[in-house]
Structure 1
């Protein structure tokens, strides 16, 4: 199980950093050069990173859906989000 402090760090990571960390974990596990214990730890960390990436993407998708294109005008954020 991931350390709660590490989980808090993951929850604050920018998307790009979380994705890069996840890619590093995948490469390490796929190399086959890690112990079973390390692979399990990496798997747990990876699930937290995947969740962080999903959360950031969901937030971005919601923001994009809130953009309103006025006829002939620039895009704006729906009221209440400015």
Structure 2
């Protein structure tokens, strides 16, 4: 398991570790206590991935296009 705090991970880092956590849990060759810790870490990683995806969606949604379909700058997104 990665020691890097989840809140400091990029989307790609969090997704890669989440895949590893799921794989470890699916194999079932870890102790009950370790399974619980992995499950909690997995929940935190999932939340991080969802937050980073939401940020990206908001950035994409903020892009406006001109009459020719070209990016015309960014408009502010409420709450950011």
TM range (shorter): 0.7 to 0.9
State the distance in 2 between where 1:24 and 1:79 align: 37
Residue 55 of structure 1 aligns with which residue? 51
Task: Give the TM-score, by structure 1 length.
Answer: 0.82
Runs of 4+ in 1 over 4 A off after TM superposition: none
- Report the structure, 1 or 2, having the larger helix content: 1
Pair 1:42-2:1 in alignment? no
Structure 1: gaps spanning 5 or more residues: 1-5
Structure 2: gaps spanning 5 or more residues: none
The alignment partner of 1:68 has SS state of strand
Task: Give the TM-score, by structure 2 length.
Answer: 0.84
State the distance in 1 between where 2:74 and 2:48 align: 24
* More relative contact order, 1 or 2 (CA 8 Å, 6+ apart): 1
Superposition CA RMSD, Å: 1.8
